[in-house]
Structure 1
């Protein structure tokens, strides 16, 4: 009577006796060797053999799951799994459930998100809403998970999901954490995706939103960046309300409490004034004064601010030369 093997290793599995495993050779040894377990060496030795044989079968799918468990970031394993899935005609909904589990355990793994995109593309639009819900679940667990936000962008772009629903989601995440740069990026992405970046009414709404977040937390760099992005097409000085807003914030904030982002934003206004030859002399002096303030409030970037101060002077000279040449 044959004994039933209780070993988890493939080399001891009767169902794999027809396969000769391919173990790492001497030429693969490196100076700094990565410590791996016996089951890792065993599973990947059989995976190598499978690659050579180009076998695609149910048992290979199980082997791939073991390899993924041991190293979920291995691109070749995921790629071969995609080949097996399509050739074997596997249940894609089942694969999605499998991916749910893998992502919940390893949500910062690029390969698993890439694989998920492949499966969603095969299934089609019917899973779009489910993907948004899944992304929300992952993002709620970790609000700045880059891969989840990128996947949500892909879903929104691929399946043209409603703008209002996604703006509401982004706003909800900003109300949870108004410093969440990923939520600002997503909101800006939505505006460009739906060609709203030129819509004055929409941009005014977004500007007011950014201003509100800045009022609440003046040191919120993400909100300042978002505001700058909204104004990039026409220039900062084209929006008089924004100029008044930041000047008022400057005047009403004690000198030692002024945000470096506020100072830098006004300095950008001054540089824009010089370029547009609007009170160039005064703007250059104001810019240099602001960069001096910034060297005190943000000493980490002191060399950058010194450079910007010199830039303001250089821009002024160029502006004066242009005026003299007319």
Structure 2
């Protein structure tokens, strides 16, 4: 076939413009070691990729070959890494690369390699890319609001480029209003509090605690909201905030026994553990904690072993408390 002939085959081995490259196919030993069912175009494309990798060729045709290899196996680290090498060598249009990545991520939104590659491109583009990246990550999150990679990418953007705190706090709130069970949104909001040193800001923490309480009131079985509330108080103690203690006890008293959330009971159980350790009515607190964990074993059997462990912990803490009192 002459160079001017039109190639009807999609295979590189039949393409005259690649006749200068000798493809490197898997050896028999490789095929025996790891036998994978692959198509002919997969074998063909990766044979040529191996060849250009050894040759260290960086060209537009290699970029096209890499796109084919990514289409055939988007999780291949070596292909993505070599594409980054070629991008820098060829001074490739990074905006064009971002458009290409938009399509890949839409097709494969949970592919670690493509998100890693996108981070590399953003680093090369700098601050000029941040606004578009925030919009893009928001789009992916709206499509699947618990996409770990999209949330991690957004965290990286905020941490790297110092995105305004209030802007991101509003974004996290919008996502929670869409789905108040979205643990990823709570994690992101807490990430913002720690990143911008707001965990000791009493005014901000009061806002966060009130937010968690409102979500719990509306949906008492929302484990994510309970975890967020606990996380906000963890640096001090969950009994350190009288407003929270009153809120939890009121919720307990006003909720019929058969409708009490296991997360409510577990939270109060943790409160009792803290009281025992602090020596605040230890016997009474221990008795209440044991009853709570006994009830939890019935209404939340999935965590029965954990509640049994907590019951043993109650007894251990009580003995320590009594020993301290006796020593005095």
Give the TM-score of the pair, scaled to structure 1.
0.98
Q: Shift of residue 49 of structure 1?
A: 0.7
Match of 2:270 among 268, 271, 278: 268
2:322 matched residue in structure 1: 320
Structure 1: distance between partners of 2:149 and 2:119: 11
Q: Do the aligned partners of residues 142 and 262 (structure 1) sit closer, same or farther apart at CA in structure 2, a change above 3 Å counting?
A: same
1:209 matched residue in structure 2: 211
2:84 matched residue in structure 1: 82
Match of 2:22 among 13, 16, 20: 20
Q: Shift of residue 30 of structure 1?
A: 4.2
Q: Shift of residue 4 of structure 1?
A: 2.1
Matched, 1:234 2:236: yes
**Once the two structures are superposed, what CA deviation does each residue of 1:271-315 show, in whole Å capped at 9, x if it has no partner?**
011111111111111110000010011011112111110110110
1:294 matched residue in structure 2: 296
Structure 1: distance between partners of 2:304 and 2:141: 36
Structure 2: distance between partners of 1:211 and 1:270: 20
Q: Shift of residue 51 of structure 1?
A: 1.0
Match of 2:142 among 140, 147, 152: 140
1:94 matched residue in structure 2: 96
Match of 2:165 among 163, 166, 175: 163
Give the secondary structure class of the aligned counterpart of 2:320: helix
Once the two structures are superposed, the pairs formed by residues 115-126 of structure 1 within 5 Å of their partners are: 115-126=117-128
Aligned length: 326
Structure 1: distance between partners of 2:116 and 2:190: 23
Structure 1: distance between partners of 2:78 and 2:68: 14
Match of 1:186 among 173, 185, 188: 188
Match of 2:279 among 263, 273, 277: 277
Structure 2: distance between partners of 1:178 and 1:31: 48
2:202 matched residue in structure 1: 200
Q: Shift of residue 29 of structure 1?
A: 2.3
1:48 matched residue in structure 2: 50
Gaps of 5+ in 1: none
Give the secondary structure class of the aligned counterpart of 1:29: helix
Give the secondary structure class of the aligned counterpart of 1:21: coil
Give the secondary structure class of the aligned counterpart of 2:198: coil
Structure 2: distance between partners of 1:19 and 1:287: 74
Structure 2: distance between partners of 1:73 and 1:254: 52
Q: Shift of residue 32 of structure 1?
A: 6.8
Structure 2: distance between partners of 1:117 and 1:37: 31
Gaps of 5+ in 2: none
